[in-house]
């Protein structure tokens, strides 16, 4: 059983979670809540899930474990993670979201929420230690599933009400928007909310089987489909999300995806943020925009949330966070459209989607023109899937070993001028292009992020960066050592 916390939640193989593992970690979570005083016996824990084939079984096993730990459980059904988080905060309930987000269908995960919001890194450690203690006790883990009362409509209605108060009535009239539904839990809510705002909505690509969609590294097949749909239906935009609906995907009128960090910046400006907290992987041009102070963190929502909390403590009036995948968080209460919105410090795909569509409708400009107006460097990213963790660790160790080793690795791409080691290695080259190499925190994947002055240069840099990683991995596999890293 290989399970671990990554950048957002516990992740592992579905075959591991569909059994004692789900019961083990749900029990460990219950023990940490009760031991810390964040919950007392009989308090409610909410459970929701995505559309993966394994998610219903995992949710039922977790529900049984929580009941046996002395807590009350309510089933919120298949709703977006931000909808679950909103209802949990409103009712001061702990919560579990069974989801693997964007990772392949043979994997799954669990996201944990305290009654006051998403768990922090310290909580992850406490849950892990509690799980280790339960395993060390040699007491058999009871993985008997349980059925619990369903409150899905109530959770969904609260989330819809929040989103319907963000914009003026009929604010999206005149827009024709496609919704790439695939297997995201946000698919029907997108259609509902956009139609209520007056947009003409075209549902697209609905799937009965789970399709992993990574909004930070949109696949070539997905881009091809977006381009085709945009032309076939004369769309102004296409919107979608990852599996659990906390990361947005938005394409322009030509079907070209818009970077998630730009969507986050647009949402921050829409809310009038005085400070935006975002990981080091987000576009380096955000600071040059000058509309809000930008604070950088490591990758992962717990780090962004911690950064937002620090900014609120420092006295900032409106604090927003977002990641390169577009997931947008609010760290402070804010008034929009005459309505006071409570902070929702967890990733949300609806806020950035509505913010960018509203900008297009209000300005009566195509999304391509709006994107061009921000004049950010061209930023691209992709990943190598099923990349062994030990290989990525060896690669990063080799590149960090000496400046000469790093320079030799980068030689086909360019000479390094500066290096940041906040999270992975982010290298600024002599021509001001950027190459960022980082192992995924959620899955056996190696990620490469690049920035350059033009689309052509960025595409070439990304292709060369991924090729360089593959070459190194092949050499590492043949040699069984990191000794050839600098060749």
d(CA 248, CA 240): 6
Distance of CA 328 to the CA centre of its chain: 9
Tens-digit pLDDT string for the chain (487 aa): 568 887 778 988 999 899 899 999 999 999 999 999 999 999 999 999 999 999 999 999 999 999 999 999 999 999 999 999 999 999 999 999 999 988 888 999 999 999 999 999 999 999 999 999 999 998 889 999 999 999 999 999 999 999 999 999 999 999 999 999 999 999 999 999 999 999 999 999 999 999 999 998 899 999 999 999 999 999 999 999 999 999 999 999 999 999 999 999 999 999 999 999 999 989 989 988 888 999 999 988 999 999 999 999 999 989 999 999 999 999 999 999 999 999 999 999 999 999 999 999 999 999 999 999 999 999 888 889 889 989 999 999 999 999 999 999 999 999 999 999 989 999 999 999 999 999 986 678 899 999 999 999 999 999 999 999 999 999 887 654 333 332 2
Asked if 398 and 473 touch (Cβ cutoff 8 Å), the reply is no
d(CA 438, CA 419): 13
Asked if 401 and 287 touch (Cβ cutoff 8 Å), the reply is no
Count the neighbouring beta carbons within 10 Å of the beta carbon of residue 302: 20
Asked if 79 and 185 touch (Cβ cutoff 8 Å), the reply is yes
Asked if 238 and 230 touch (Cβ cutoff 8 Å), the reply is yes
d(CA 407, CA 82): 42
pLDDT tens-digit series, residues 105-115: 899 999 999 99
Closest C-alpha among 225, 263, 229 to residue 371: 263
What angle is formed at CA 377 by the lines to CA 372 and CA 381, rounded to 5 degrees? 110
pTM: 0.89
Residue 195 confidence (pLDDT): 98
Residue 478 confidence (pLDDT): 64
Residues belonging to the chain: 487
Strand pairing report for 10-13 and 107-114: antiparallel
d(CA 22, CA 18): 7
Q: 3-class DSSP state for residue 132? A: helix
Strand pairing report for 176-182 and 200-206: parallel
Residue 430 confidence (pLDDT): 96
Q: For helices 403-410 and 389-401, what crossing angle results, to 10°?
A: 110
Instruction: Note if 2 is an active site residue.
Output: no
Residue 483 confidence (pLDDT): 33
Q: For helices 367-374 and 350-363, what crossing angle results, to 10°?
A: 100
Q: 3-class DSSP state for residue 175? A: coil
Q: For helices 260-271 and 350-363, what crossing angle results, to 10°?
A: 70
The DSSP annotation for 89-145 comes to HHHT-EEEEE--TTS-TTEEEEEEEETTEE--HHHHHHHHHHHHHHHHTTPPP----
What does the radius of gyration of the chain's CA atoms come to, in whole angstroms? 22
Q: Active site residue: 54, 101, 282, 392, which one?
A: 101
Q: Which residues of 270-279 are buried (b: 16+ CB within 10 A; e: fewer)?
A: bbebbbbbbb
Asked if 423 and 412 touch (Cβ cutoff 8 Å), the reply is no
d(CA 52, CA 294): 36
CB under 8 Å to 389, separation ≥6 — which residues? 439, 444
Which tokens is 363 given? 């300005």
DSSP state of 211: -
Residue the block writes with tokens 């092949």: 474
Q: Which residues of 34-47 are buried (b: 16+ CB within 10 A; e: fewer)?
A: beeeebeeebbbbb
d(CA 15, CA 240): 28
The structural domains of the chain, ordered by start, are 4-152 (3.40.120.10), 165-374 (3.40.120.10), 378-479 (3.30.310.50)
């Amino acid at each position: 059983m290989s399970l671990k916390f990554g950048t957002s939640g516990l992740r592992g193989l579905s075959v591991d979670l569909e059994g004692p593992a789900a019961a083990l970690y749900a029990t460990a979570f219950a023990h940490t809540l009760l031991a810390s005083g964040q919950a007392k016996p009989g308090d409610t824990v909410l459970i929701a899930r995505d559309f993966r084939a394994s998610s219903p079984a995992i949710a039922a096993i977790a529900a049984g474990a929580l009941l046996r730990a002395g807590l009350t459980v309510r089933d919120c059904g298949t709703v977006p993670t931000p909808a679950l988080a909103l209802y949990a905060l409103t009712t001061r309930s702990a919560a579990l979201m069974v989801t693997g987000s964007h990772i392949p269908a043979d994997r799954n995960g669990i996201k944990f929420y305290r009654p006051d919001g998403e768990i922090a890194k310290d909580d992850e450690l406490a849950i892990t230690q509690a799980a280790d203690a339960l395993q060390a006790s040699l007491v058999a883990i009871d993985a008997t599933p349980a059925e619990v009362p369903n409150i899905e409509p109530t959770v969904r209605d609260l989330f819809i009400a929040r989103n319907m108060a963000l914009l003026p009535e009929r604010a999206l009239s005149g827009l024709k928007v496609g919704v790439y539904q695939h297997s995201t839990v946000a698919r029907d809510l997108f259609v509902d909310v956009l139609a209520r705002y007056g947009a003409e909505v075209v549902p697209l690509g609905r799937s009965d089987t789970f399709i992993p969609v990574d909004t930070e590294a949109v696949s070539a097949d997905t881009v091809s489909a977006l381009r085709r749909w945009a032309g076939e239906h004369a769309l102004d935009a296409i919107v979608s999300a990852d599996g659990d609906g906390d990361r947005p995907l938005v394409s322009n009128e030509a079907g070209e995806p818009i970077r998630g960090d730009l969507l986050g910046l647009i949402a921050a400006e829409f809310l009038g943020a005085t400070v935006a907290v975002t990981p080091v992987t987000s576009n380096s041009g955000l600071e040059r925009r000058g509309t809000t102070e930008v604070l950088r963190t490591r990758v992962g929502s717990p780090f962004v949330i911690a950064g937002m909390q620090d900014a609120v403590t420092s006295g900032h009036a409106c604090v927003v966070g977002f990641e390169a995948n577009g997931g947008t968080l609010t760290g402070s209460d804010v008034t929009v459209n005459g309505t006071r919105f409570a902070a929702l410090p967890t990733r949300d795909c609806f806020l950035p989607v509505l913010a960018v569509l509203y900008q297009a409708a209000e300005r009566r400009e195509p999304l391509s023109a709006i994107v061009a107006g921000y004049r950010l460097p061209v930023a691209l990213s992709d990943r190598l899937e099923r990349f062994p963790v030990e290989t990525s660790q060896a690669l990063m160790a080799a590149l960090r070993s000496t400046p000469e080793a790093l320079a030799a690795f980068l030689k086909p791409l360019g000479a390094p001028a500066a290096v940041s080691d906040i999270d992975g290695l982010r290298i600024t080259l002599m021509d001001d292009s950027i190459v960022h190499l980082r192992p995924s925190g959620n899955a056996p994947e190696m990620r490469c992020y690049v920035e350059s002055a033009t689309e052509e240069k960025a595409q070439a840099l990304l292709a060369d960066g991924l090729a360089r990683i593959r070459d190194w991995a092949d050499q590492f596999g043949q040699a069984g050592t990191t000794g050839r890293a600098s060749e």
